[in-house]
Every structure is written in structure tokens, then in C-alpha cells.
Amino acid sequence: MNKKLKLTYLFMILLFMVGFLMACSGGEDDASGSGDSNDTESSEQSREESEGSEDSEAEDSGESEGDASASVDDFTLRFSTGTETGLYYPIGAVITDFWQNKIDGLSASSQASNGSVQNLIFMQEGEVEMALAMGNAVLEAWNGERGFEGMPYEDLRVIGHMYPNYTQWVIREGSGLESIGDIAGGEFGPGATGSGTDIASQEVLEAYDLTYEDMNIHHGGFPETTDMMRNNQIDMANIVVGIPGAAIGEMISTANGVLTSIDQEQLDYLTENYPYWFQSDIPAGTYDGQDNDVTTAAIANVMVVDASVPEEVVYEITKAMWESKAELEGSHEIFKQWKIEDVKKGIPEDIPFHDGAKKYYEEAGVW
């Protein structure tokens, strides 16, 4: 009896082991067929192999940018802009829609962001291929400074200067101040803490041999700064924005503000020490009651693209953008400020243009 029980137990164990082995075999088939972890691992391996192959081809051909022979067909272009209340956002929406309608095979879309620095981070991380950014942020990304400390963006390429932002200094009438250098000991609104306006304010004051320690500082966004001037809490303010700037118009019309020029000596200091600044005028009549040109410094809003985007794609979007600019002007007033002769203006010389953009500019006789 005991012998029979032992045989029975052995038989049951053998049946269990066979069933277990069959179940394991069937589980692997199900996993690979359902696109679970096995599919993921194989797709990652394929991507790594593909990238390795592309790298080898790039090294063999000596190409540092996207394949010059690559077609526009089926290429997806993601464009990072800015906040929905800013100017970058509508520019991106208009121009990506324009490209998609103008260029066969191209899929283009735009997305919101926090602005210049985040746009460049998105590009560096491969989340988007193109963006708009202010010239100082572009230089910082290229050099690996400030928000890009230790991570220089070596694949950053330029398509061109699109339009300028102006550092616009407003003195409150009745404050007793006559020029920017008179702000020592006074009340100053330099923009929101850490903003582009805040940084620009410090650079301009540096040209006057002044720092924030020489005055009383009142940080705030554009609306808050306007309110502070209206309430006589500040004597002077600076806002870096395109023209006309709504906040500047309000300061002039409702807060007794007077737009003032930067002195020539200080302008020379800015342009010599900061390669993204260039001298420019705010034309008479830009704001109500502004009878004369106001001389100040401006900084480029730059269209940038990753080096991985094929030359033919960048060539086609650059060509469409400039040769059909009249259509863009009908979509938004800001496009009227875009000038092809200014594509290099305010762009530090060591930051390269994309080969596709260079190809078009050479054909168009711009360079």
C-alpha cells in the first residue's frame, strides 16, 4: 500500500512539473504578443541600435547636423513658445499652422511653456525641435551658464533674429529725476525677481556704476510695477518688452510716466560687454505724447532649432517664412517687425546658424 502511495505521489509531481513548464512557455508568448515588457525591451534595444547606426553614419560623413538629404515628408516639428498671455504663444501658433499648410509632408505644432529658459531646456532634452528665446538665454544655454550650468547646449542652432525686445525706462514726472543715473537713493521698480527684466535692469545700472544697494528696490510684474508708479511708490521703472508695450503705455497715460533714453556712454558699455545687446531707437509716436525717438538698448528674440533637424526641413521652413511674410503679417501685427536683413543682429558670433537656414540666406543674397 505504501509503495502504491509513493508511486502515486511521484506521478502527481511529474504532472505538476510538466504543467508548470508549459505555463511558463505560454506566458512568454503572451507577453511578446501583447506588447508588454518584452516588446518594450526589444524596442529600446532597436532604438539604441538605430541610434548607434546613425551615429556611425554621421561620423563617417562628417555631418554635424541633420542629414542634408533627408526629406521633409512625414517630419514632425514641435515648437515651444511661452505663456498663453505672452507674445511667443500666438507667434508659435500662427507660424506652425502656416508651415503645416505651406510645406507638403510637414507636421508642425506649438506648445505653451514658461518662456525662453524652459524652451531651451525642452529642446536640449529632446521634447521639442524648435523654439523662441531671448538672446541672453540663448548665449547662456550655449555656454552652459546660469540655468544651464555644466550643461552647455552644443547642438543649439540659430535660424535668426525675429524681432527685438527693448529695455524701456520710465521716469515718474514730479520725481525730480532727469536721467537713469539719478536713481541713486530713489525708489526703483526693476521687474519681477529673477525675470529677464530684472537681469536687464542690473546690467543697465552696472553701466551707470550703480547696483541695487544704491537704491530702494520694489520688485513686481508689469501690472504691479505700473500700479506702484501710479501710486507714487516708485520714481523709475524698467520693462523689457516689444513695442508698443501695454504696460509702458499705461505708465505714460495713467501714471505720469516719461520714457527716457539711455545715455550714449552707457549704451556703448552695454554693447561692448554684453554681446546680445544692441543700440536701437523707439520711434517717435510709439506711445501717446512721445514726440521724439528714444534711444535705448534692445535684445533679440531668436528662433532656434536643434542641430538634429534635417537641413532640408530647416531650409524649407526658413524659405516659407521669409518669402510669404506678408501672409504672416495679416495674422499678427508682430510679424511686421521681422526683417530679413536683421537675422544676425544681436546674435553672438560663436553661436552657429543651422546649415538649412544658411543655405536659404545665401540663396536669397542676405549673406
Q: What is the pLDDT of residue 364?
A: 96
Q: What is the pLDDT of residues 284-332, one digit of tens each?
A: 999 999 999 999 999 999 999 999 999 999 999 999 999 999 999 999 9
Q: Are 75-162+302-363 and 165-300 in the same CATH fold? A: yes
Domain at 75-162+302-363, CATH class: alpha beta
Q: Please, what's the b/e burial string for 89-120 (b: 16 or more CB within 10 A of its CB; e: otherwise)?
A: bbbbbbbbebbeebbeebebebbbbebbbbbb
Q: Does domain 165-300 have CATH number 3.40.190.10?
A: yes
Where are the chain's structural domains? 75-162+302-363, 165-300
- Answer for the pair 189, 237: CB distance below 8 angstroms, yes or no: yes
Q: Alpha-carbon distance 328 to 315, whole Å?
A: 18
- The CA distances from residue 187 to 20, 203, 214, 222, 224, in Å, are 81, 18, 10, 16, 14
With b meaning 16 or more CB within 10 Å and e meaning fewer, what string describes 136-164?
A: bbbbbbbeeeeebeeeebeebbbbbbbbb
What gap in Å lies between CA 24 and CA 200, rounded to an integer? 66
Q: At what angle do helices 135-143 and 196-207 cross, to 10 degrees?
A: 90
Residue 98 identity (one-letter amino acid): F
Beta strands in the chain (DSSP E): 75-80, 106-111, 130-134, 156-172, 187-189, 216-217, 236-241, 257-260, 277-282, 294-306
- Kindly give, in sequence order, each residue whose CB lies less than 8 Å from that of residue 86, ignoring residues fewer than 6 positions away: 115
Tallying the residues shown for the chain, one arrives at 367
Q: Is the pLDDT of residue 41 over 70?
A: no
Query: Of 297, 314, 313, which Cα lies nearest the Cα of 352?
Result: 314
| Model confidence, pTM | 0.72
- Residue, of 150 and 66, whose pLDDT is higher: 150
| Residue 352 DSSP symbol | P
Residue type present at position 99: W
Lowest-pLDDT choice from 27-36, 102-111, 182-191: 27-36
